[in-house]
A and B are shown apart, each in its own frame.
Chain A
């Protein structure tokens, strides 16, 4: 538990640096961001279709984890059931596309909207439940969803256990790229917009209110923050993000079935959130990487012991990066700049 304290000290040290240096650091940060986007834009042109598909899924999982992060990381409410919102978003897209022939891009706002409403309503009981109790309620949602999807009253819509096959989004005719690449760029665009929006939200007055509730609910109320409203809204926005991710997931996999959205999905989101970094936006993408690739790596080491190896990798990651990938990067950057400052002083 020394890491955060050290972190604070380092940040304080960085704060003492001249404003010029800070401006330079900021622009470095922007350069890194621009570079990352450029690399992300070029990748599908050089990689084979299957890897492009995997990276698309990483972004989608990253977006889903971002949704969970807004709720847990920034607002301090627990959810062990975000797989349910992911599944709901996926089904909204599948049903709209296959039963109502709506174009795939229009299904994203619909999926987000419906998930927002459901998430908002879900947030109402959450007002009376704290911590572990709330976690249990969301857990129930994750357990219930696959069975609700199989329920025969809804079968005409959901297709029951057979699920729904979703048509693959075709690239516009004027673009000379394949369907995998098109889906990657489409996902990239959506993810960038949603991350930018989350970034503005977190840095806004509203975002500060959301975090104030997490840090000290009583003080937040005393400052005039409407706790019930902010909490339910955060739940809704969080569900919206995860729902849009689910909608993109349905487009990428081209198939939805109750077995795709088991309880494990929710647990994986939680794992991705913690390992990526609670309360960090870029950390969510690392979480997505972990969710997709680590089970594959574990299975490659030994199929019989895949579960055990997954656990070992998870432990190692937590030992090396106790505050997630985001905290680790922050620390590393701060350490580097301290070293550089020392060199400069000499």
Chain B
């Protein structure tokens, strides 16, 4: 008995130790660790394209701040112990170059996913390729509505509030503030202008035909939109829904002031920049304008003591010293990369392309530092529009003042 016990113990101990050790080592290796292309035990490869040169190079703050963000992540130890190798190529905002560069990222650099490529035409060019190849096209940096199509394009997901949902938000606001309004809509005759118009029409529902008095479009090639504004006044409109790009938005504000027309003037987020639209239009003429926001305005002193804003400033000072902090592109890129980082964290050790999309569609009440307080990112297998909330703001002659509750334009 004694002998037996002793012998058993002696024999069993190393065996048990070995078994225990084995099972400890084996668990991550075969039970949970699953890697797609571009992933190893200490690296995750991510691809990106952006306009570092070319006509839209003023947007380069968006990819630049993403590059800087991943540098910060790596300095802090990476994601679940893996460094992120973020490869960002210049596409000059030309679709053929985007196709070439994205194919290089996917086929030669072997990236796990493409994160936040910038631009509507550029993303359109790779849309089918990504879905055919089943490579995640994560959180694209464009506001077109078509990216929210989980059924037709399950490998592409949007990020910012899309133009249609913005249109719905304004519709709800108008219905509440001026239920008997006669609305004049000024929109650019292309996909984004029509997105806004559709959102507004859908939001007004059965009152649309009665309330939409004038629908005036313009071409980017038009010299002015003065006559459209005059027509709206003549038709007796008391709401102006202005979805124009900065140049034309400014003309509209100026012309309305000139002919002493004072409607409830709603300016879409496309044209709400103080520097690009309101200053040229005259800050006095701009008083009382209504618009909406989802990110913190880095020039607004009200965020001075805000924890999220301080985090962003610390990031900017350390990783992008000398960059212009009033450029909203740095806020957007920082927030986009933060969302991608969350998806990687949620994936744990199962870093496959399938799981990336699964986790991208599994964000619940997630937030990044520069989103307005209270705005959260939510996705599901049937909802590929991560940010849906915005807050209204009124221009007080100097800056946009946020007011009212958070609004959402999503249906249902």
Contacts and interface: CB of A to CB of B under 8 A. Distances in A.
Most chain A beta-carbon neighbours within 10 Å: one of B96, B108, B189: B96
A267 interface: no
26 contacts: A53-B100, A53-B103, A57-B96, A152-B189, A161-B120, A162-B190, A165-B128, A253-B95, A253-B125, A254-B128, A255-B124, A257-B95, A257-B124, A257-B125, A258-B121, A259-B93, A260-B121, A262-B54, A264-B92, A295-B92, A299-B52, A299-B89, A303-B88, A303-B90, A304-B52, A306-B53
B108 A253 contact: no
Contacts of B191: 160-162
Given A49-B107, A50-B107, A255-B95, A161 B121 contact: yes
Given A255-B125, A259-B121, A306-B90, A57 B100 contact: yes
Given A48-B108, A160-B191, A161-B191, A299 B90 contact: yes
B94 A260 contact: yes
B190 A161 contact: yes
B107 A48 contact: yes
A307 B107 CA distance: 26
- At the interface, is chain A mostly helix, strand, loop or mixed? helix
B190 A160 contact: yes
Contacts of A254: 99, 125, 128-129
A147 B55 CA distance: 14
Contacts of A260: 94-96, 121, 125
Interface in B69-116: 88-90, 92-97, 99-100, 103-104, 106-108
A131 B117 CA distance: 42
A252 to B, nearest CB: 8
Interface residues of A, number: 35
A150 interface: yes
Nearest to B56: A259
A303 B190 CA distance: 32
Interface residues of B, number: 35
A255 B99 CA distance: 9
Interface of B: 52-55, 88-90, 92-97, 99-100, 103-104, 106-108, 120-122, 124-125, 127-129, 189-191, 217, 219-221
| Chain B interface SS verdict (over half) | helix
A156 B107 CA distance: 35
Nearest to A179: B132
Given A150-B219, A152-B189, A259-B93, A253 B99 contact: yes
Contact of A306 (B52, B55, B94, B219): B52
B93 A50 contact: no
Contacts of A264: 54, 92, 94
Contacts of A304: 52
B55 A163 contact: no
A306 B91 CA distance: 12
Interface string A242-281: 0000000100011111111010100000000000000000
A54 interface: yes
A151 interface: yes
Interface in A135-184: 147, 150-152, 155, 160-163, 165
Interface in A24-61: 48-51, 53-54, 57
Interface string A270-306: 0000000000000000000000100100010001101
Nearest to B106: A50
Contacts of B129: 254
A66 to B, nearest CB: 19
Nearest to A255: B125
Given A151-B221, A163-B121, A307-B53, 20 more contacts: A50-B106, A50-B108, A53-B100, A54-B100, A150-B221, A152-B217, A161-B190, A163-B125, A253-B95, A253-B125, A254-B99, A254-B128, A254-B129, A255-B95, A257-B95, A259-B121, A264-B54, A292-B100, A295-B90, A304-B52
Nearest to A304: B52
B120 to A, nearest CB: 7
A141 to B, nearest CB: 15
B121 A151 contact: no
A259 B103 contact: no
Contacts of B190: 150, 152, 160-162
Contacts of B122: 259
Contacts of A255: 95-96, 99, 124-125, 128
